[in-house]
A = this chain, B = another copy of it.
Amino acid sequence: MTYLAILGFGTVGSGVAKVLTENAAEVAAGAGEEVRLKYIVDIRNIPDSPFAPLMVKDFAVVEQDPEVGVVVETIGGCGVALAFTRRALAAGKHVVTSNKQLVAEHGVELLALAKEHGVNYFFEASVGGGIPLLRPLFNDLSANRILSMKGILNGTTNYILTAMLQSGKELDEALKEAQSLGYAELNPDSDLDGTDAVRKTCILADLAWGRELKPELVPVEGIRGVALQDIRSAAASGGAIKLLCRLIRGEDGLTYAWVAPHYVPASSMLCHVDQAFNALIITGNAVGDTMFYGTGAGSVPTASAVAGDVVDAVRHKSSPRGIGWSDAPLPLGDPDTLPSRWYIRSEGKWHFTEPLTADRIPACEARYRVLD
Interface contact B145-A26, CB-CB below 8 Å: yes
Interface contact B308-A139, CB-CB below 8 Å: yes
Interface contact A132-B124, CB-CB below 8 Å: no
Interface contact A130-B293, CB-CB below 8 Å: no
CA distance A136 to B135 in the complex (A): 8
Q: Find A295's partner among B124, B290, B303, B319 (CB 8 Å cutoff).
A: B290
Contacts of A303 in B (CB 8 A): 286
Contacts of A31 in B (CB 8 A): 142
Which stretch from A218-226, A235-243, A310-318 is at the chain B interface? A310-318
Chain A: interface secondary structure?
A: mixed
Taking the complex as formed, is A269 at the interface, i.e. its CB lies under 8 A from any CB of chain B? yes
Taking the complex as formed, is A216 at the interface, i.e. its CB lies under 8 A from any CB of chain B? no
Contacts of A284 in B (CB 8 A): 304
Contacts of A210 in B (CB 8 A): 29
Taking the complex as formed, is A287 at the interface, i.e. its CB lies under 8 A from any CB of chain B? yes
Question: How many copies of this chain does one complex carry?
Answer: 2
Interface contact B292-A291, CB-CB below 8 Å: yes
Interface contact A130-B26, CB-CB below 8 Å: no
| Size of the chain A interface, CB-CB below 8 angstroms | 54
Taking the complex as formed, is A289 at the interface, i.e. its CB lies under 8 A from any CB of chain B? yes
Contacts of A294 in B (CB 8 A): 287-291
CA distance A286 to B294 in the complex (A): 12
Taking the complex as formed, is A23 at the interface, i.e. its CB lies under 8 A from any CB of chain B? yes
Taking the complex as formed, is A11 at the interface, i.e. its CB lies under 8 A from any CB of chain B? no
Most buried by B among A20, A27, A145, A269: A269
Taking the complex as formed, is A346 at the interface, i.e. its CB lies under 8 A from any CB of chain B? no
Interface contact B135-A304, CB-CB below 8 Å: no
Taking the complex as formed, is A359 at the interface, i.e. its CB lies under 8 A from any CB of chain B? no
Contacts of A295 in B (CB 8 A): 287-290
Interface contact A288-B301, CB-CB below 8 Å: yes
Taking the complex as formed, is A55 at the interface, i.e. its CB lies under 8 A from any CB of chain B? no
Interface contact B141-A308, CB-CB below 8 Å: yes
Cross-chain pairs A/B with CB under 8 angstroms, 5 sampled: A135-B136, A135-B139, A139-B139, A287-B305, A288-B301
